[in-house]
Amino acid sequence: MAEILLYTASHTLQGKEVRDKFDGTFADLYHDLDMGFSPINFMLHWAPLPHNRARDHAQITIAKTYMEIIANRRAGNEKEKLDIMWQLMRLTYEDGTPVPDEEIAHMMIAHMMIAHMMIAHMMIAHMMIALLMASQHTSSSSSSWIMLRLASRPDIIEELYQ
């Protein structure tokens, strides 16, 4: 499920060539990044813990991939499109200095993490609504069956009131 969300978000928000670079290993790398968001890391982000090492490796690997895509786009090998990466590549600071490609790569990682979390939360919300509706229909069906049964057994109705 997480892999499908990652593929969907990367293609729709960041462009086809970003999605084309992503495979199952990138889903694992994003998982490693996500595992780096633990309470201990707000105090000890530098601690030599296994999940921190995996997080750092994932960040470096994904950033390199984004850097390759940015370099390819800047070389003119890709036609400009309306996606987040192109928008970031056009940005400049107030003094006119372009935003460095490395910063763009890191912003892309942050964007992907946020998009992934938002889509996941939306899907959970939709699943909860579906479960609620299903339980309502199940309860309605069960209630109808119980009422039908009770109509044929007045003795049980009297016991229920006791």
Tell me, yes or no, whether 53 lies in a domain: yes
- Interacting residues of 49 by C-beta distance below 8 A, sequence separation 6+: 40
Q: Nearest Cα to 106, choosing from 129, 88, 87?
A: 88
pLDDT at 157: 76
State how many domains the chain has: 1
Q: What are phi and psi of 153, to 5 degrees?
A: -135, 75
| DSSP label at residue 92 | B
Report residues of the chain scoring pLDDT below 50.
none
Q: How far is CA 84 from the centre of its chain?
A: 16
pTM of the model: 0.64
Q: What token pair was written down for 79?
A: 């036609």
pLDDT at 98: 92
Tell me, yes or no, whether 134 lies in a domain: no
Residue type at position 111: H
Tell me, yes or no, whether 21 lies in a domain: yes
pLDDT at 152: 84
Look over the chain and give the mean of its residue pLDDT values, rounded to a whole number: 77
Q: Which residues pair with 92 in a beta bridge?
A: 98
Range of the domain at 107: 2-116
Map residue 81 onto helix, strand or coil.
coil
Tell me, yes or no, whether 152 lies in a domain: no
Tell me, yes or no, whether 131 lies in a domain: no
Tell me, yes or no, whether 20 lies in a domain: yes
Tell me, yes or no, whether 135 lies in a domain: no
pLDDT at 120: 53
Tell me, yes or no, whether 162 lies in a domain: no
Please identify which residue in the block is written with the tokens 């006119």: 96
Q: Nearest Cα to 14, choosing from 86, 78, 63, 122?
A: 86
Are 86 and 73 contacting, i.e. CB atoms less than 8 angstroms apart?
yes
Query: What is the tens place of the pLDDT at every residue in 74-119?
Result: 888 667 777 888 888 888 989 999 999 999 888 888 877 766 565 5
